A and B are shown apart, each in its own frame.
Chain A
Amino acid sequence: MINIASLTQPFARERMERQAPAFLLAAAVTIYIAIALSLGLTRFLTPEAAISILNRSIALGMTAAGQTFAILVASIDLSVAHLISASAVLASVIMNGEPSMIVPAILASMALGVLVGTLNGLLITKLEVNPLIATLGMSLVIQGCLASFYTSFSGSVPSEFQFFAYGEVFGLPFSLLVLIALVLLAWLLLRFTRFGSNIYSVGGNRDTARAAGIKTARVVVAAHIICSLCAALAGLYLASRLKSGSPWIGSEGAYDLESIAVVVIGGTVLSGGRGGIWGTMAGVVIFSLIDSIFNLAGIDAFAKQVMRGVIIVAAVAFYAVRSKRMVA
């Protein structure tokens, strides 16, 4: 779609879109600190508290990092939640308490991720199925397959593998380091490689990208594989954290919709081509800060949910309202 406003005022608009997530993040941090100070709860302002806030959203962060790729190519992935469950169950069933099976289990989860991502990508590119429907269908298929074999906690994770969720390196949680590494990798990929710039071109305008000689189908499939791999990794993390694979862990955490919400709050446009990984991470931190703020302020769980819905919409509206683009 032609964006007339962005043609006339490209720089101001771009700066706005880039800074909006930082702005929201700053606001969330300020509110958090203000509430902690006003309630005299200074123990929630230490570095340890900050790390524990971050630590709460590792799985969401991993999933959202992958979702960023899918949304950047103007696609979307609704199958991540059930893929997370499937990956967690698969890994813990294969490990079954045996330290020697850790590597095969990780490989199997990753293979599952590649498989699901490839199928999603092929459905979207070759069969031209709307991404929303393709991944929704895939999500139902994964859920059904998983539920017909496993109905409760299955397998167990050896204590060595629990290092992923509970281990510490240099005083920082290992999982947080993994997330940071993942984000750095994603950033390098998006910022400095040809693949990264192809992603932005394909997401910005698929026809133009194809005319420019980019193999658009491959880029979309690759983005979906990355997305599914990240979800599989999140599944491994959750298996390690719960010490066993639970077939409802992904859907219970609503990782599909939450990861999309986080990506959009981070300033990545749903129609693709604009945004980035740092915005998404800002979104993830904003999300866990909102939770912490509610906990500090002692708001009850239901009111929390109501406000959460309002905040998601308000945060997106915060910069969407300026856009002259037509949205659907």
Chain B
Amino acid sequence: MTEKAVKMTDTNLFAGKRRLPQVNPVYFVLAALLCAIALSNPNFLEPTGYMNFLKRAAPLAILAAGQIYVIVSGGFDLSVGSVITLTVVGSSMLLDNNDDATWWVILVMFAIGAAVGLINGLVVSYLRVPSLIATLGMMITLNGAAFMWSSGSPRGYLPDTFRFFGRFNIKGMPLIQFLPVALIVLVVVGLALFWLMHRTNLGRLLHAVGDNPRAAQMSGVPVERIRIFAFVISSLSAVTAGILLGGFAGVSTDVGTGYELQAITATVIGGAQLLGGRGSVPASIAGALTLAAIFTLLNFIGLPKPTRDVVQGLILIAAVVLATYRRNRTGGR
């Protein structure tokens, strides 16, 4: 951390703006992986192939797009997986197989998500608990809450009106035959989060806070509020991902398990810098798609799950090594 502080002193806060034309290597990696998948399985080029891929990757991509806000502001959000679980379990409890309740249940879930993000942000900003611990505590608490709410055995289904977002395909589209609603959600959320981070002052403040919180504070940035905002965005994206996942996964108390680490991995593959100051929404989404593509490819090749874990671990380390190497070579950060 001190190393970072020393290196940061000579960095222009708005340097990120000038670097934009540079192409992030994650896009090349993603393209290469997609080619590899297409080669190993020609069906992937059919609309059913790539649309289903995008549909399945959408929750992780949305999650990564939200997580990047917290990462850029200098923290971690480990609670997103448990927010997903709570969303799925809570919706199934509240809906109680009642089709008409979908809309208000979704609103309630977003309200819960906003509250979770707010609490995370308040605990980190005002109680000064490191975000790793604060969101870890939140994760344990919410997992327990999901268990309590469902008394340990959640009901097995959600009504179709709720599953619409994750499962439904709009049929009869020209060229692509069908368009999954999940993909539309991903595009809308992705564009909104992209705009918010890269085209508004708020996004610039977010980078400033993550780059050097003290400098940001001294130049009048409301550091606490910006941090809280980042956690709220992350939690809301987790609720969105949870609603999509509820559409194609069953209701269980471990739907969200492991998603927090996958989301962080996705942002890192997308070139985000842990402990803040650098990261982009589209690159994180590309990172999530890369991760999903890696899993798909390993699946096609027929590698068992354990091997996939090993590969994921190695890729994670390699992505960071490459990013560090690039930074060191180009000088500065």
Binding site for B on A (CB under 8 A): 1-2, 74, 123, 127-130, 132-134, 136-141, 143-148, 205-208, 257, 260-261, 264, 270-272, 301-310, 312-313, 316-317, 320-321, 323, 325-328
Looking at chain B's contact residues, is the secondary structure mostly helix, strand, loop, or mixed?
Answer: helix
CB<8 Å pairs between A and B, sample of 11: A132-B76, A133-B320, A134-B317, A139-B313, A148-B307, A260-B136, A305-B143, A313-B138, A326-B214, A328-B73, A328-B130
Decide if B40 is an interface residue (CB 8 Å cutoff): no
Taken together as a complex, chains A and B put the C-alpha atoms of A326 and B305 apart, in Å, by 40
Taken together as a complex, chains A and B put the C-alpha atoms of A126 and B244 apart, in Å, by 41
Contact (Cβ within 8 A) B147 A302: yes
Decide if B250 is an interface residue (CB 8 Å cutoff): no
B324 in complex: contacting residue of A128, A148, A310, CB < 8 Å: A128
Contact (Cβ within 8 A) A320 B128: yes
Decide if B36 is an interface residue (CB 8 Å cutoff): no
Contact (Cβ within 8 A) B310 A141: yes
Closest B residue to A204 by beta carbon equals B2
What's the minimum C-beta distance from B181 to chain A, rounded to whole angstroms? Answer: 32
Asked whether A264 and B130 contact (CB < 8 A) given A133-B268, A138-B313, A305-B141, the answer is: yes
Taken together as a complex, chains A and B put the C-alpha atoms of A320 and B126 apart, in Å, by 9
Q: Which of A139, A140, A146 has the most CB of B within 10 A?
A: A140
B152 in complex: contacting residue of A130, A302, A308, CB < 8 Å: A302
Contact (Cβ within 8 A) A144 B3: no
Count: A-B pairs, CB below 8 Å? 172
Besides A140-B316, A317-B129, A328-B276, 11 other CB < 8 A contacts?
A: A129-B320, A133-B317, A147-B306, A206-B2, A261-B137, A302-B147, A303-B144, A305-B144, A308-B144, A312-B137, A317-B123
Which are the 7 A-B pairs with shortest beta-carbon distances?
A: A305-B144, A140-B313, A309-B141, A144-B309, A309-B140, A144-B310, A313-B137
Taken together as a complex, chains A and B put the C-alpha atoms of A143 and B3 apart, in Å, by 31
Contact residue range for chain B?
Answer: 35 or more
Binding site for A on B (CB under 8 A): 1-3, 5-6, 73-76, 123-124, 126-134, 136-145, 147-148, 152, 210, 213-214, 217, 223, 261, 265, 268, 274-276, 304-314, 316-317, 320-321, 324, 328
